């Protein structure tokens, strides 16, 4: 269900008159279109990102007839997003600080290649106010909120204040990070407390503190991590809710004061504050609660003068919800909303950036679930995995969408985020979407890089997940395991035994006929080195 600022909630009645008005001036309740923001038809779009989201944005641009310019680091020379774009510009060495975070190089690449707009994707520079400002000042369109809105909402401390002013409930907390204030706050609200980075995102710079002894270390390491990740070590502290659900509302604003809410997503399945599984709608949100949450999100967005796509995140504790933060950008989990609403949020973003007014969203239907597959090894404490993809199979089929930039031959490095694929399923009901997800995940096969697919598959197949009993502590409280995993391990053990050559019938053979693997031509002393590191095993 989508929501508008007032009236017509959930009723299916026509939108307010001003909703479709072409001129903002016709509606007294709406603000004027922000004259400082360059708009206009986008014909050439630079995508300032990499991986699946760069591919995703390029795809929509193609559909819209927009020429695309990719940027890439030396580590991504052969990457899928580079191949997909109409042009590709090398912007620097692998380290993000010298490439995907280097705003000046990206803006220069945009001008040199005739771009009229920059889409930042998520992560990297997407919520960097200075980058957005520099983009606009150089005369380009920035596909995202205006810098001043980004500044007000991207900073978690100022967003908290804004939410409070908009009458949106907030978690009890303090805007201080010195040991003394933290100690007093913890004494008042009782442990556990949660330290958060004001510039934070994705769990970085975030620490749960359960006892006084850990407080000083946690403050120090959170600040250090925040400085490293965001260049801003400012922290704030909140009461830690024991078993909340994470519910967020997708909003779109066109800058005229009109805001729509495209329902909620539940993202409670998280590990160390990194979302693993998201769905829309939420099994915990009924009609009335949805209306309240969407209205709160719209109030906050309206107050901040929001423009373009954004997400207002809440923690849900029983029937009470609290403002968490605003993500002033496209979210990783946006596809679940797209499947339910039959829309393309990137296309909406481009239209809004070009100065067009919002159109009424379609009615939401069915249920969508997304699983994030990461290059992490759950059986080894979620250690980040790196390596070259030697074999790759990704699922497809009715009600299945896969957003991924992974290809056979892709080298997963430690320079960037560990997300390698998003598998999204859709069904008429939650149970249908869930079963489609299990079937889809069973079709995933990746050799060469450790990954988390079996882990998320076990969660989706578990009884508590099937019953919709979710909380942000789900992974701590449930350790889904199955005979399924045991059978797979047995099959893998047999394969490993065969592959090591105990059996005369089997040997490793290279399926890689290329000569780019230096190991192939080096030492020939052992049977393994003769074939290099990249050998698939086959029967003779």
Partner 1 sequence: MKLRRLGQTLPREVEIISHQGSVISARIDDQTIRAILERTADGSFMIRIGSHRVRINAVRSKGSILVAAGPASFEFKAVEAAESRPRIGLASPRVEAPMPGRVLKILVVEGAEVGAGDGLLVLEAMKMETTLYAEGAGMIAKVLVVQGQMVDHGDTLIELSPLRDSSNAESPPRGR
Instruction: Please give the residue ranges that form the binding site for partner 1 (CB under 8 A).
Output: 202, 204, 221, 224-225, 228-229, 272, 377, 379-381, 383-387, 390-391, 393, 413-414, 416-418, 441-451, 453-454, 457, 485, 487-500, 502-503, 505, 508, 511, 528, 533-539
Nearest approach, Cβ of residue 163 and partner 1 (Å): 27
Q: Label the pairing between strands 445-447 and 376-377.
A: unpaired
Task: Dig out the tokens for 310 from the structure.
Answer: 């954004």
Phi, psi (rounded to 5 degrees) for 235: -125, 160
Cα 105 to Cα 107: distance, rounded to the nearest angstrom: 6
Long-range contacts of 393-397 (CB under 8 A, 24+ apart): 393/443, 393/444, 393/445, 393/446, 394/421, 394/423, 394/443, 394/444, 395/423, 395/439, 395/440, 395/441, 395/442, 395/443, 395/444, 397/436, 397/439, 397/440, 397/443
Q: Is residue 383 annotated as part of the catalytic site, yes or no? A: no
Closest CB to partner 1 among residues 356, 517:
517
Question: Catalytic one among 204, 329, 351, 430?
Answer: 329
Radius of gyration of the chain (CA): 24
Burial of 518 (0-12, 13-18, 19+ CB in 10 A): exposed
Task: Dig out the tokens for 393 from the structure.
Answer: 């199979």
Dihedral of CA atoms 455, 456, 458, 462 in degrees, nearest 10, equals: 140
Nearest approach, Cβ of residue 402 and partner 1 (Å): 13
Nearest approach, Cβ of residue 39 and partner 1 (Å): 34
Nearest approach, Cβ of residue 489 and partner 1 (Å): 7
Nearest approach, Cβ of residue 528 and partner 1 (Å): 6
- Cis, bond preceding 192 (omega within 30 deg of 0): yes
The answer to whether 518 touches 534, Cβ cutoff 8 Å, is no
- Cis, bond preceding 365 (omega within 30 deg of 0): no
Nearest approach, Cβ of residue 121 and partner 1 (Å): 16
Closest CB to partner 1 among residues 11, 526:
526
CA dihedral (175, 180, 185, 191) positive or negative: positive
- SS3 assignment for 219-252: HHHHHHHHHHHHCCCCEEEEECCCCCEEEEEEEE
Residue by residue, DSSP assigns 111-165 as: HHTT-SEEE--SSTTTT-HHHHHHHHHTTPEESSS-HHHHHHHHSHHHHHHHHHH
Closest CB to partner 1 among residues 284, 440:
440
CA distances from 180 to 93, 160, 172, 212, 258 (A): 42, 22, 17, 11, 44
Cα 536 to Cα 524: distance, rounded to the nearest angstrom: 18
Residue count (the chain): 540
Cα 437 to Cα 335: distance, rounded to the nearest angstrom: 14
Cα 325 to Cα 160: distance, rounded to the nearest angstrom: 7
Helix axes 453-461, 430-442, angle to 10 degrees: 150
Nearest approach, Cβ of residue 380 and partner 1 (Å): 3
Nearest approach, Cβ of residue 500 and partner 1 (Å): 6
Nearest approach, Cβ of residue 124 and partner 1 (Å): 11
Distance between the two ends of the chain, CA-based, in angstroms?
Answer: 58
Closest CB to partner 1 among residues 37, 423:
423
The answer to whether 523 touches 529, Cβ cutoff 8 Å, is yes
Nearest approach, Cβ of residue 265 and partner 1 (Å): 23
The answer to whether 129 touches 151, Cβ cutoff 8 Å, is yes
The residues annotated as belonging to the active site are: 329
């Amino acid at each position: 269900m989508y929501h508008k600022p007032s009236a017509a909630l959930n009723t299916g009645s026509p939108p307010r008159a001003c909703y479709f008005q072409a001129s903002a001036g016709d509606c007294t309740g709406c603000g004027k279109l922000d004259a400082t923001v360059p708009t206009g038809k986008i014909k050439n779009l630079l995508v300032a990102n990499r991986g699946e989201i760069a591919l995703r944005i390029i795809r929509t641009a193609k559909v819209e007839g927009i020429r695309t310019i990719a940027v890439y680091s030396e580590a991504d020379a052969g990457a899928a997003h580079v191949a997909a774009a109409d042009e590709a510009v090398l912007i620097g060495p692998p380290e993000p600080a010298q490439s995907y975070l280097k705003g000046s190089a990206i803006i220069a690449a945009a001008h040199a290649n005739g771009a009229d707009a920059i889409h930042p994707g998520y992560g990297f520079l997407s919520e960097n106010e200075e980058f957005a400002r520099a983009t606009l000042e150089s005369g380009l369109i920035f596909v995202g909120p205006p810098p001043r809105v980004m500044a007000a909402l991207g900073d978690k401390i100022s967003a908290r204040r804004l939410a409070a002013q908009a009458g949106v409930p907030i978690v009890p907390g303090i805007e201080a990070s010195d040991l003394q204030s933290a100690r007093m706050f913890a004494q008042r609200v009782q442990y556990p407390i949660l330290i958060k980075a004001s510039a934070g995102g994705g769990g970085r710079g975030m620490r749960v503190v359960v006892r006084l002894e850990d407080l000083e270390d946690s403050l120090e390491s959170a600040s250090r991590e925040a400085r490293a990740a965001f260049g801003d070590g400012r922290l704030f502290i909140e009461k830690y809710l024991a078993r909340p659900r994470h519910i967020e509302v997708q909003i779109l604003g066109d800058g005229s004061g009109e805001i729509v809410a495209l329902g909620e997503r539940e993202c409670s399945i998280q590990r160390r504050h990194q979302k693993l599984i998201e769905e829309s709608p939420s099994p915990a949100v009924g009609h009335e609660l949805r209306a309240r949450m969407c209205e709160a999100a719209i109030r906050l967005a309206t107050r901040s003068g929001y423009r373009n796509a954004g997400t207002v995140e809440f923690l849900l504790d029983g029937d009470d919800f609290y403002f968490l933060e605003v993500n002033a950008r496209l979210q990783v989990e946006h596809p679940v909303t797209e499947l339910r609403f039959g829309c393309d949020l990137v296309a909406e973003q481009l239209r809004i950036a070009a100065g067009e007014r919002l159109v009424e969203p379609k009615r939401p239907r069915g249920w969508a679930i997304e699983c994030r597959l990461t290059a992490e090894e759950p059986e080894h404490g979620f250690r980040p995995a790196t390596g070259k993809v030697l074999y790759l199979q990704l699922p497809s089929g009715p009600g299945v969408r896969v957003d991924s930039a992974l290809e056979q031959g892709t080298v997963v490095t430690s320079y960037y985020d560990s997300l390698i694929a998003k598998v999204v399923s859709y069904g008429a009901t939650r149970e249908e979407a869930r079963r489609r997800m299990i079937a889809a995940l069973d079709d995933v096969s990746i050799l060469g890089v450790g990954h988390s697919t079996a882990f998320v598959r076990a969660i989706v197949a578990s009884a508590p997940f099937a019953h919709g009993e979710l909380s942000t502590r789900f992974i701590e409280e449930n350790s889904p395991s199955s005979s399924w995993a045991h059978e797979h391990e047995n099959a893998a053990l047999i394969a490993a035994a065969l592959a090591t050559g105990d059996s005369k019938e089997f040997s490793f053979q290279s399926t890689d006929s290329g000569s780019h693997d230096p190991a192939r031509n080096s030492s020939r002393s052992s049977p393994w080195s003769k074939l290099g590191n990249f050998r698939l095993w086959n029967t003779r």
